[in-house]
């Protein structure tokens, strides 16, 4: 998760357990705007076999369905399923298995990706192939519910802008959501956690780490200058943070729950 940064350094912010594993979240974001109920990313789902899940040691009592229900919604209420990218831990929950058949979890929703990333995911390079699972991806297209967002045109949603980044994977989408006086940025894998704010802290999963460095530097400077709220998908402790400019570069300003600004 921290690439070339030595464990003796990264373990100060993310201490591992006795198996050398750290805890990570798969935090999604639900947005209600008029008749639109959008979910951004959906975790890894539960349809894989025991061998697959044995690598990840899932724990805790949270689930996507329980979280939706807690806010008075079901999967059928979701109108738009926005996928930042198609790695299994971001899109696997969008497809489920019933009676050994695959189908969409969100039966009434439009599933959103972009054409460049879709081609990247459906014809994967050997490095990323284990992260792009056909059973997570192809049912979206087969259902007829898949639509592509174009980077040559504005976002189809008035409450959201989209930033495209290609260091982690090709054409990952970072949504910037306008909410009251705030800009909330769903950081996906551009910034997995507070521990990744220093520029050299780049995941070993990133396909183009030097491009990630450039993209992080640009985005974090903009975030510090404009006081963006950074919504953290993988940080197991911190839901959101803001950042600030310091003599050592951009650093964390404060951490807080999203509920504090709702």
Q: Looking at the domain assignment, is residue 1 inside a domain?
A: no
**Which sign, positive or negative, has the C-alpha torsion 157, 158, 160, 166?**
positive
Q: Looking at the domain assignment, is residue 164 inside a domain?
A: yes
Q: Looking at the domain assignment, is residue 2 inside a domain?
A: no
Q: Looking at the domain assignment, is residue 158 inside a domain?
A: yes
Q: Looking at the domain assignment, is residue 87 inside a domain?
A: yes
Specify the number of domains making up the chain: 1
Predicted pLDDT at 61: 86
Domain that holds residue 222: 7-260
CATH code, domain with 162: 3.60.15.10
Q: Looking at the domain assignment, is residue 111 inside a domain?
A: yes
Predicted pLDDT at 86: 98
Q: Looking at the domain assignment, is residue 143 inside a domain?
A: yes
Predicted pLDDT at 64: 93
Q: Are strands 80-82 and 36-40 parallel, antiparallel or unpaired?
A: parallel
Q: Looking at the domain assignment, is residue 215 inside a domain?
A: yes
With a cut of 90, say whether residue 56 has pLDDT above it. no
Query: pTM for the complete prediction?
Result: 0.96
Which tokens sit at 61?
A: 């009592």
With a cut of 90, say whether residue 199 has pLDDT above it. yes
- Contact assessment for residue 224 and residue 205, using Cβ atoms and an 8 Å cutoff: no
């Amino acid at each position: 998760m921290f690439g070339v940064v030595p464990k003796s350094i990264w373990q100060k912010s993310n201490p591992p357990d006795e198996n050398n594993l750290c805890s990570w979240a798969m935090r999604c974001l639900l947005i209600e705007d008029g008749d639109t109920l959008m979910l951004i990313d959906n975790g890894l789902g539960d349809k894989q076999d025991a061998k697959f899940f044995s690598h990840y040691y899932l724990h805790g009592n949270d689930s996507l369905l329980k979280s939706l229900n807690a806010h008075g919604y079901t999967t059928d209420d979701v109108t738009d399923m926005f996928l930042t990218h198609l790695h299994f831990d971001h899109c696997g929950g969008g497809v489920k298995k019933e009676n050994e058949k695959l189908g969409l979890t969100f039966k009434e929703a439009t599933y959103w990706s972009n054409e460049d990333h879709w081609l990247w995911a459906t014809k994967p390079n050997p490095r990323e192939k284990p992260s792009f699972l056909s059973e997570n991806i192809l049912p979206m297209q087969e259902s007829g519910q898949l639509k592509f967002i174009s980077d040559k045109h504005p976002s189809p949603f008035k409450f959201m802008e989209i930033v495209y980044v290609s260091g982690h994977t090709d054409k990952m989408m970072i949504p910037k959501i306008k909410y009251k006086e705030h800009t909330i940025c769903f950081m996906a894998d551009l910034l997995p956690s507070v521990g990744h704010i220093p520029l050299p802290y780049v995941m070993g999963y990133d396909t183009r780490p030097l491009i990630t460095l450039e993209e992080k530097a640009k985005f974090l400077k903009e975030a510090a200058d404009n006081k963006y709220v950074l919504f953290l998908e993988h940080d197991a402790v911190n839901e959101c943070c803001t950042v600030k400019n310091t003599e050592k570069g951009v650093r964390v300003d404060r951490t807080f729950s999203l509920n504090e600004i709702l």
